[in-house]
Structure 1
Amino acid sequence: MADDRSNKPRPTPVILVVDDQAANVRVVGQLLAQAGFEVVPAMSGQEGLDLARADPPDLVLLDMRMPGMTGFQVLQALQDPPTTQDIPVIFLTADIERDSLTRAFGAGAVDYITKPFVAEELLVRVRTHIELKQSRDALRRIAAEKQQVAETVAHDLRNYFANILFAADMLRDTDLPVASRLRLIESIRSSGDSGVLFLQAFLDQQSEQAHGTSVEPLPAILLLRETFDLLERQAHAKNIAVRIDVAEAVILLGHRAGATHVLQNLLSNALKYSPIGSEVVLTASRTGKRGRLLVLDRGPGICKGDQPRLFQRYVTLSAQPTQGESSTGLGLALAKQRARTMGGDLWYDDREGGGSIFTFELPLA
Structure 2
Amino acid sequence: MKNYPLYFTITVTLLTINPAISNTANNSYPQLSQHLNQQNWKAADIETRKLIQQWTYPNGDLYSEAQFNKIPCENLRAIDTLWMQASNGQFGFSIQQQLWQKQQYTNPRQKVEALGKTAGWMRTKPLTDAEFQDKWYASTWLMETELNYTTKAPKGHLPWNGISAETINSLTSQIGSGCGSCSIDAMYLQEERNYKYLPGFYERVKTCVAASPSPSNPLEKALTSKNWREANRLTSNKLLELAGQQQQGYLTASDIKKLPCTDLQTIDQLWLKNSNGQFGLSVQAKIWQNINGKNYQDSLRFEEIVGWDKTQPIFDQKTAPKGHLPLRPALSEGIMDAWGGWWIQEMSTRLKTCRVF
Higher helix share: 2
| Higher RCO (CA < 8 A, seq sep 6+) | 2
Q: TM-score, normalised by structure 2?
A: 0.24
Q: TM-score, normalised by structure 1?
A: 0.24
The structure with the larger Rg is 1
